[in-house]
Amino acid sequence: MQNTTRLDRRPPATAPPPKGLRKALILVEKGIKEPIWDCRMCGQCILHSTGMSCPMRCPKNLRNGPCGGVLQNGHCEVLNDRQCVWVQAWEGSRKMPIWRGHMAHLQRPVDWRLQETSSWENLLTGRDRYLPAGWRSYETGRHTR
């Protein structure tokens, strides 16, 4: 997709200030996703890949599955009055007609610059597709090896 140039390794443009239309978009996304999914506005939504259970609600921000500390009753080891978000993710994903297999997908590291931005905007602009060059070259290498 892109060459590994020196420029590549520089951060992509950080989120522009949330003004006007952009602010409206953020408010709409947050207004919908927060009450329904307890969305944390990470700006790089993978909700459909995690059984509609937001992984950013995990106190360890795990994007690839539960830690080893999940209690026998399925509750979180940190917030032990709540069910583990990954228990919910697994159960949720089993009920989904599509995207079930996404639970096995390796999710890239979080780009923390996208916090509090709209994942919809980032999807359209491609800002959420940023991958560190090392990660990208490893994946490319895998395919050609």
Partner 1 sequence: MSDVEPRSRLHRLLLSGEFVVTAELQTTDSADPGSVHHLAEGLRGIVDAVNCTDNSAAHPHISNVAAGKLLLERGIEPIVQFTCRDRNRLALQADLLGAAALGVRNVVMMSGDDVTAGDHPEAKPIYDIDSCHALRIARIMRDEGTYLSGRKLTGPPSFLVGAVENPFAPPVDFRPVRLGKKVEAGAEFVQSQIVFNLERMRVFMARAGELGLPQKAFILGGVFVLRSARAARYLRDQVPGIDVPEETIRRMEGIPAERQAEEGIAIALEIVQQLREMPGIAGVHVMSINWEEVIPRVVEGSGLLPRPAAGP
Question: Of these, 15, 26, 39, 84, which contacts partner 1 (CB under 8 A)?
Answer: 84
Structure tokens at 45: 């939504």
Q: Any contact of residue 4 with partner 1 (CB under 8 A)?
A: yes
Interface of this chain with partner 1, residues 9 to 28, rule: CB under 8 A:
9
Q: Any contact of residue 67 with partner 1 (CB under 8 A)?
A: yes
Q: Any contact of residue 46 with partner 1 (CB under 8 A)?
A: no
Helix (H) / strand (E) containing 124:
helix 119-125
Give the span between the Cα atoms of 40 and 93, in whole angstroms.
20
Long-range Cβ pairs for the range 59-62 (8 Å, 24+): 61/110, 62/86
Part in contact with partner 1 (CB under 8 A); list of ranges 13-21, 32-40, 41-49, 107-115 = 107-115
Part in contact with partner 1 (CB under 8 A); list of ranges 16-24, 28-36, 42-50, 137-145 = 137-145
Alpha-carbon distance values, 57 to 36, 63, 82 (Å): 13, 10, 11
Q: Any contact of residue 43 with partner 1 (CB under 8 A)?
A: no
**HSE-CB of 111 using CA atoms within 13 angstroms:** 22
Give the residues lining the site for partner 1 (CB under 8 A).
4, 8-9, 59-74, 77-78, 84, 86-87, 90-91, 103-110, 112, 132-138, 141
